[in-house]
């Protein structure tokens, strides 16, 4: 059983209505690894960092069972950097600065020891990089999950559509699903997107939860109503990590199990937003996760017998 | 067992991105009665209409077990009229025209035969009218439910707060909960609002479902993802009607049963939006309602055993 994770490992500087972070460690693959490593080992990480990326961060992930053989360290270059500012609703944000740095020329190399992995999580990254990883795998994983964002729809739509056509599960947010499909209704958007390749579509709606579409079936996972959302950065990646981590642990790629995986991902994301960056993800235990999943059960549970 | 419904019975003219209605029958109490009459009889209606209100509409409701003794008919005046235009997202709308007409001078009179009702549904209306009805009841109902809107927060806040302090369940939408509490976080908003009187707060989030808050408990009911939302007018009233109809039928005012009532209300609302006005509500049968409730069960059902 193994899981390959592809994505950025990087620095972020974040402003929210509640505060401002220094330059802290972030990146899709970082959040995914912190999240998924609660459920499955080893995680085979594919990414690129500069000489400025802290060794202790790599060590901390290694300790959690994340195999760094696929992480290129370019000593003389700088890591990817993003800074952004969230609006009051925390669902929208402005990018203040983007420095591509090592990501600008990233050519992923899949180590031989990563071949034969059963699960592939393509975190948010250039579609060309995602395609290259898929092409390098000698055996198609049992399940390929793709997370992406509007940025790639704007600058690399054709490549993105090619990746989408090759994956089993696509994750986007609601406005991205609308942008990708040209349909306002999410049900219509889902139908169109599912006709282009993926068997499953997950539409993330932030504080409004997430929808899973498969054929004519749909599942609605709530988000936990939170008193404070401190920093939403990485929540989507953390969700993806919990989702694929649960799938990799159970090795069950049925629609039924994907519903549960979405609840697990939602529980992980609800922890992520409690502190800046991945700080909260570094603290939580299996008991914390179990307790949060149980909160989701209580949140949606109702006695249908009462309707009769 | 009996239920009093208070609210407007009126005319609406509606524009949506999908079409434009003529002047059609609407009003909070109309939608509530069409919805609740699927579950409980008799419904004791308190409202006011002008001589222009169609007798066949009153007759159709009477046939469904709605007692019209509390509906004043002012032959020489005109019914309340509202016209509005929905934006593409169908969650927001502009009011084009409001003619208060008979509503402007409405003084509700609770008929003697309505006394002793167990349930009171205060549909959206001037807080002064709602207060008058409460004051006229010799025995406090077992459960009082209040639906209101931002309009009254702006022009009659003190009276509205007085009504709120006297009810058991308050229903508002998310932006109204924020406006009423001054809190952006809905969890914080709920805490504040619950401290002012109601034991239960339902926050309606349109296509994102509804939240039920009670003490430290919370329940999240999804909305059914719909391919087309044709006309959202009356959806909130229809939700309220399904909610109170289910409660009145089961006579169970526990938190557990309120969750189920919210699912029933959501199912009713999902039908309401399929056609202009209350047209769809006039067509549906018990089988339709059962089938829709079952869709909600499927929509949120997941196997938590899979997480262990």
| pLDDT, tens only, A110-150 | 999 999 999 999 999 999 999 999 999 999 999 999 999 99
Of B208, B264, B290, the CB nearest to A205: B208
What number of C-beta contacts closer than 8 Å exist between A and B? 113
CA angle A276, A12, A277 (to 5 degrees): 20
Name the burial class of residue B116, with classes exposed (0-12), middle (13-18) and buried (19+) by CB atoms within 10 angstroms of its CB.
exposed
Residue of B nearest to A255 (CA): B302
- Which of A18-27, A37-46, B262-271 has the weakest average pLDDT? A18-27
Residue numbers in A near B301 (CB within 8 A): 259
Residue A93 confidence (pLDDT) above 80: yes
Which one is predicted more confidently, A25 or A303? Answer: A25
Which one is predicted more confidently, B86 or A303? Answer: B86
Mean pLDDT of chain B: 95
CA separation, residue B6 to residues A59, A104, A166, B223 (Å): 66, 64, 57, 26
Torsion-angle region of B119 (φ positive above 0: left; ψ -120 to 50: alpha; else: beta): beta
Phi, psi of B153 (to 5 degrees): -65, -30
Predicted pLDDT at B248: 97
Residue numbers in A near B307 (CB within 8 A): 246, 260, 263-264, 290, 293
CA distance A58 to B114: 72
Predicted pLDDT at A92: 82
Q: Per residue in B64-82, pLDDT tens?
A: 999 999 999 999 999 999 9
| 8 Å CB contact of A302 and B263 | yes
The percent of residues in chain B predicted with pLDDT above 70, rounded, is 98
CA separation, residue B191 to residues A66, A281, B174, B186, B187 (Å): 42, 28, 14, 9, 6
| 8 Å CB contact of A293 and B307 | yes
| 8 Å CB contact of B211 and A227 | no
Residue pair B203/B219 in contact by the 8 Å Cβ criterion: no
Predicted pLDDT at B91: 75
What residues are paired with A3 via a beta bridge?
A: A43, A119
Determine how β-strand B210-214 pairs with β-strand B217-221.
Answer: antiparallel
Residue pair A78/A90 in contact by the 8 Å Cβ criterion: no
Buried b (16+ CB within 10 A) or exposed e, A198-216: bbbbbbbbbbbbbbbbbee
CA dihedral sign of residues B266, B267, B269, B270: positive
Of B88, B188, B307, the CB nearest to A227: B188
Give the residue from A89, A183, A220, A249 with the most B CB atoms within 10 Å of its CB, the best one to mutate. Answer: A220
Assign A301 a pLDDT band (cuts: 50, 70, 90).
confident
Assign B270 a pLDDT band (cuts: 50, 70, 90).
very high
Predicted pLDDT at B92: 82
Residue A306 confidence (pLDDT) above 60: no
CA distance B14 to B22: 7
- Which of B134-143, B226-235, B273-282 has the weakest average pLDDT? B226-235
Predicted pLDDT at A1: 63
CA distance B71 to B56: 14
Q: State the pTM of this model.
A: 0.92
Alpha helices, DSSP H, located in chain A: 28-36, 55-63, 127-136, 150-155, 157-166, 174-181, 186-194, 235-250, 255-272, 279-283, 286-300
Residue numbers in A near B89 (CB within 8 A): 184
CA distance B293 to B184: 31
Min distance B217 CA to chain A CA atoms (Å): 8
| Angle between the N-to-C axes of helices B127-136 and B157-166, in degrees from 0 to 180, rounded to the nearest 10 | 40
Of B225, B246, B290, the CB nearest to A186: B225
What residues of A are in the B interface, CB distance below 8 Å?
Answer: 88-89, 184-188, 205, 208-209, 211, 217-222, 225-229, 246, 250, 252, 256-257, 259-260, 262-264, 290, 293, 297-304, 306-307
The percent of residues in chain B predicted with pLDDT above 90, rounded, is 91
Predicted pLDDT at A228: 85
| 8 Å CB contact of A302 and B219 | yes
| 8 Å CB contact of A185 and B227 | yes
Buried b (16+ CB within 10 A) or exposed e, B222-252: bbbbbeebbbbbbbbbbbbbbbbbbbbbbee
Contacts of B16 (CB under 8 A, 6+ apart): B85, B86, B90, B230, B231, B232
Residue B303 confidence (pLDDT) above 90: no
Residue A75 confidence (pLDDT) above 90: yes
Mean pLDDT of A289-307: 85
Question: Whose CA is closest to B161, among B116, B196, B109, B120?
Answer: B196
Assign A305 a pLDDT band (cuts: 50, 70, 90).
low
- What is the residue whose two structure tokens read 């970082």? A30
Residue B228 confidence (pLDDT) above 90: no
Residue of A nearest to B287 (CA): A308
Min distance A31 CA to chain B CA atoms (Å): 21
The percent of residues in chain A predicted with pLDDT above 70, rounded, is 98
Q: Per residue in A244-277, pLDDT tens?
A: 999 999 999 999 999 999 999 999 999 999 999 9
Residue numbers in A near B184 (CB within 8 A): 88-89
Residue numbers in A near B188 (CB within 8 A): 227
Mean pLDDT of A210-224: 95
């Amino acid at each position: 059983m193994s899981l390959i994770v592809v994505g950025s490992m990087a620095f972020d500087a974040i402003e929210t209505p509640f505060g401002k972070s220094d330059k802290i460690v972030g990146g899709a693959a970082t959040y995914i690894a912190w999240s998924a490593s609660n459920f499955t080992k080893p995680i085979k990480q594919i990414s690129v960092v500069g000489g400025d990326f802290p060794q202790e961060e790599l060590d901390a992930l290694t300790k959690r069972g994340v195999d760094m053989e696929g992480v290129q360290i370019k000593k003389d270059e700088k890591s990817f950097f993003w800074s952004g500012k969230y609006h009051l609703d925390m669902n929208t944000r402005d990018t203040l600065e983007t420095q591509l740095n090592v990501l600008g020329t990233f050519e992923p190399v899949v180590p031989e020891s990563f071949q034969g992995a059963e699960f592939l999580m393509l975190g948010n990254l250039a579609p060309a990089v995602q395609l290259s990883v898929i092409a390098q795998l000698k055996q198609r994983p049992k399940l390929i999950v793709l997370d992406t964002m509007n940025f790639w729809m704007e600058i690399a739509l054709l490549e993105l559509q090619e990746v989408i056509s090759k994956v089993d599960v696509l994750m986007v947010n609601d406005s991205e699903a609308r942008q990708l499909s040209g349909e306002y209704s999410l049900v219509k958007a889902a139908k169109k997107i599912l006709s282009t390749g993926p068997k499953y579509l997950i539409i993330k709606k932030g504080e409004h939860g997430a929808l899973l579409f498969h054929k004519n079936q749909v599942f609605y996972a709530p988000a936990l109503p939170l008193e404070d959302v401190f920093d939403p950065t990485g929540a989507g990646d953390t969700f993806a990590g919990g989702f694929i981590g649960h799938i990799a642990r159970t090795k069950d790629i049925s629609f039924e199990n994907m519903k549960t995986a979405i609840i697990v991902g939602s529980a992980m994301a609800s922890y992520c937003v409690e502190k800046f960056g991945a700080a909260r993800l570094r603290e939580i235990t299996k008991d914390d996760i179990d307790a949060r999943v149980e909160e989701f059960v209580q949140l949606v549970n109702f006695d249908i017998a009462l309707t009769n």
